[in-house]
Amino acid sequence: MALDLHKTAPQVREMTLRLRDAHDARQTRLNRAMTLLGNPLARPHGPLAEETLRQRVEAAGPPRPRVTFLVAGLPAPIALADGLDRAFAAPPAPPEYMALATDGSQITVDRHGPAHCFLINVGGAMIQYGREPHADLFSQPRLYSTPEEMVIPDPDGGVRDQPIDDVLLGVKRTAMECEALADRLEQSAHESPVLALLDGSLVRWDLSGSRYGDHVRRELLQDGFLAALGRIRAVAQRRRVAFASYISSPRSTEVVNVLRVAWCPHEGVETKGCDNICGHGGPGKRECDEVATALMDRDLFERVLAPGERSALFASQSPIVREYGPHEVRFCYVNVDGEIARLEMPEWVAQDDEAVGLLHALTLDQCRKGGGYPVALREAHEAAVVTGSDRRLFWGLVESSLASQGLTPRFSEKARSKQVRAL
């Protein structure tokens, strides 16, 4: 049955009225947050010592976060008295460079489908600009179907074999995207500077916590994703490589949460912890909500950054990043003239001013060429994407291949009912 728009319309109207009321309150919070971003130590209800703010930010990070929110780390170059709203212009982009990007897509296990398997398709684009312009668009599909491939095996041969669920499939895919990027970087003999981009976040937060065993993190993170980052770093030691992951329209709030802990009027929160002070408050009832509710980092930086400018470099304090070793994640926001994008990079990129400058300049050039989004990432996505029609063709291929071997595909009654759609 189709959606009943007559019943939906009044609800949409109600939502619109509520949003209008919320808008004014949000504007007040945003103004407050912008002032605090300019100097997070100067609060109307009393100044905060720089040392205290740094302790609070640190208390929000691992190993034992005492602050409820994920708060951006403030690496040494950030002087709090100067504010968190410093903007940096990009150096000129070199005319000769290579843009390299990979992305991925998957066909997940369909438990109603004809066979137990999944597929990961990694696509990429390598575009050379300058005297000899050329492009190489590529994709590499990989099918997983053996019992050993459907799990992360328990290294002790025990019972802790971890089936690859949707979350782990996503992590595995990201690791493969990063490995494909490393492969191409290693193979490229060109000497021009490289912008190497991944899509999405470098922070594999979905692996944090106790949901998955150590062996899962070891295989997918240490031996997969981080090992590939190590290979990219090795190339960067002999060639100019600006590596980062690119997030369009980021929804993160880590810098807003710095303002939360700066605004917090409760002395000793850094030792007592949020829960022991405002634990029973809930959203909207805590003082820090006055500078943070419904605000995202991009709301702040779209008022701070002129087109082409980037913010200071902040640090991710996500618990999983503790396991990243030399690849701990730094990030900044960039006004790519159309939206605020987020660039995440390993610490070894962030510490190299020249690499950061190159990353900044080339990302802008890619966005300019791509009408607001990096061309190489767009083409990597196009090379990787598995459409609904591709999925149908894939399962059709599986079926006919099974049938050709005299194997009868087994469908669940649910799958059959979806196919037939009988009345």
Shortest distance (Å) from residue 409 CB to other proteins = 29
Single out the residue of 336, 345, 352 nearest to residue 301, CA to CA. Answer: 336
Instruction: Compute the distance between CA of residue 102 and CA of residue 118 in angstroms, rounded to an integer.
Output: 20
Stretch that binds other proteins, among 83-91, 127-135, 252-260, 297-305 (CB under 8 A): 127-135
- 115 by DSSP, 3-state: which? coil
Shortest distance (Å) from residue 363 CB to other proteins = 16
The site string for other proteins over 367-406 (x = CB under 8 A, - otherwise) reads --x-x---x---x--x------------------------
Shortest distance (Å) from residue 137 CB to other proteins = 5
Candidates 133, 147, 283, 284; binder of other proteins (CB under 8 A) is 133
Stretch that binds other proteins, among 33-41, 129-137, 160-168, 249-257 (CB under 8 A): 129-137
Q: Which is nearer to other proteins, 130 or 325 (CB)?
A: 130
Single out the residue of 377, 1, 393 nearest to residue 196, CA to CA. Answer: 377
Contacts of 119 (CB under 8 A, 6+ apart): 106, 107, 141, 142, 143, 144, 386, 394
Instruction: Compute the distance between CA of residue 244 and CA of residue 123 in angstroms, rounded to an integer.
Output: 17
Question: Could you tell me how far CA 343 lies from the centroid of its own chain?
Answer: 9
Instruction: Please tell me whether residue 317 binds other proteins under the rule CB under 8 A.
Output: no
Answer yes or no: are the C-beta atoms of 322 and 63 closer than 8 Å: yes
Answer yes or no: are the C-beta atoms of 139 and 104 closer than 8 Å: no
The two beta strands, 194-199 and 97-107, are parallel
Contacts of 260 (CB under 8 A, 6+ apart): 69, 71, 288, 291, 292
Instruction: Please tell me whether residue 127 binds other proteins under the rule CB under 8 A.
Output: yes
Q: Which is nearer to other proteins, 133 or 209 (CB)?
A: 133
Instruction: Compute the distance between CA of residue 119 and CA of residue 397 in angstroms, rounded to an integer.
Output: 13
Candidates 15, 22, 49, 135; binder of other proteins (CB under 8 A) is 135
Question: Could you tell me how far CA 184 lies from the centroid of its own chain?
Answer: 22
Instruction: Compute the distance between CA of residue 353 and CA of residue 335 in angstroms, rounded to an integer.
Output: 19
Q: Which is nearer to other proteins, 101 or 255 (CB)?
A: 101
Question: Could you tell me how far CA 81 lies from the centroid of its own chain?
Answer: 29
The site string for other proteins over 86-125 (x = CB under 8 A, - otherwise) reads ---------------------------------------x
Shortest distance (Å) from residue 356 CB to other proteins = 24
Q: Which is nearer to other proteins, 231 or 369 (CB)?
A: 369
To 10 degrees, what angle do helices 297-304 and 5-38 make? Answer: 60
Q: Strand 97-107: give its sheet, edge to edge.
A: 134-144, 118-129, 97-107, 194-199, 241-247, 340-346, 329-335, 314-315
Candidates 14, 50, 82, 136; binder of other proteins (CB under 8 A) is 136
Q: Which is nearer to other proteins, 91 or 130 (CB)?
A: 130
Q: Which is nearer to other proteins, 49 or 135 (CB)?
A: 135
Shortest distance (Å) from residue 289 CB to other proteins = 44
Answer yes or no: are the C-beta atoms of 86 and 38 closer than 8 Å: no
**Beta bridge mates, 334:** 310, 341
Q: Which is nearer to other proteins, 101 or 274 (CB)?
A: 101
Shortest distance (Å) from residue 131 CB to other proteins = 9
Candidates 59, 72, 100, 129; binder of other proteins (CB under 8 A) is 129
Shortest distance (Å) from residue 246 CB to other proteins = 17
Candidates 128, 201, 318, 363; binder of other proteins (CB under 8 A) is 128
Q: Which is nearer to other proteins, 127 or 312 (CB)?
A: 127
Shortest distance (Å) from residue 97 CB to other proteins = 12
Instruction: Please tell me whether residue 337 binds other proteins under the rule CB under 8 A.
Output: no
DSSP result, 149-195 = TTEE--TTSSS--EE--HHHHHHHHHHHHHHHHHHHHHH----S-EE
Stretch that binds other proteins, among 126-134, 152-160, 284-292, 334-342 (CB under 8 A): 126-134
Residues that bind other proteins (CB under 8 A): 125, 127-129, 133-137, 369, 371, 375, 379, 382
